[in-house]
């Protein structure tokens, strides 16, 4: 934009009226950033932050009730209260151990078997393929074809 003397005077007038930079830009048909840049170059007075508009102090938060004073631990541990001596102690109850059933660990097949999972993990029929793997791969030929998909050529999509 060419800043003519008339445009500069209009900018200064709208600025002193207190309009926002966005409003000045709308009224002048230019961007907000053009207004900010020209106002900065003209050394116009600084604007208050739109975030901190109210200069009135906020009311203080309600006072919390005072916490009770901490009592030193020595006073609390001074002497245990007396126990009634007439009641015999109850016999300890035997607690049955908790037995958790975990799925059987898969047998170690070594590096010379296909690691493709078959079935649903945690079910009795779950197992691994176990066939001879391809050289340098963890899967057999059949499962490697499923696991390693050749990426499509992006040039096919272009047009």
What are the tokens at 118? Answer: 């078959």
Rounded to an integer, what distance in angstroms lies between the CA atom of residue 146 and that of residue 75? 72
Could you tell me the residue range of the domain that residue 148 belongs to? 108-153
* Neighbour count for residue 30 (Cβ, 10 Å): 16
Helix (H, G, I), strand (E, B) or coil at 5: helix
* pTM (2 d.p.): 0.33
Domain annotation covers residue 138: yes
Q: What angle do CA 59, 50, 56 make, to 5 degrees?
A: 25
User: Residue 150 — φ and ψ, nearest 5°?
Assistant: -70, 130
> By the 8 A CB rule, do 103 and 120 touch?
no
What is the chain's pLDDT, residue by residue, as a tens digit (159 residues)?
A: 788 999 999 999 999 998 889 999 999 999 999 999 999 999 888 876 667 655 556 666 677 777 766 665 555 556 666 776 666 666 776 666 655 554 554 455 555 888 889 988 888 889 888 898 888 888 898 998 888 887 776 676 665
Domain annotation covers residue 98: no
Which segments of 29-78 does DSSP mark as H helices, in order? 32-41, 73-76
Domain annotation covers residue 119: yes
Rounded to an integer, what distance in angstroms lies between the CA atom of residue 20 and that of residue 51? 12
Number of domains in the chain: 2
Domain annotation covers residue 65: no
Domain annotation covers residue 158: no
């Amino acid at each position: 934009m060419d800043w003519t003397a008339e445009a500069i005077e209009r900018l200064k007038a709208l600025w002193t009226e207190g309009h926002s930079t966005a409003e000045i830009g709308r009224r002048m048909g230019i961007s907000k950033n053009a207004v900010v840049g020209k106002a900065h170059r003209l050394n116009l007075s600084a604007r208050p932050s739109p975030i901190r508009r109210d200069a009135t102090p906020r009311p203080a938060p309600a006072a919390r009730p005072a916490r009770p004073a901490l009592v030193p631990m020595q006073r609390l541990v001074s002497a245990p209260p007396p126990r009634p001596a007439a009641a015999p102690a109850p016999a300890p109850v035997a607690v049955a151990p908790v037995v958790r059933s975990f799925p059987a660990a898969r047998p170690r097949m070594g590096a010379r078997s296909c690691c493709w999972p078959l079935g649903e993990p945690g079910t009795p029929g779950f197992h691994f393929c176990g066939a001879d793997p391809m050289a340098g791969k963890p899967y057999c030929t059949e499962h490697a074809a499923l696991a390693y998909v050749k990426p499509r050529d992006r040039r096919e999509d272009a047009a």
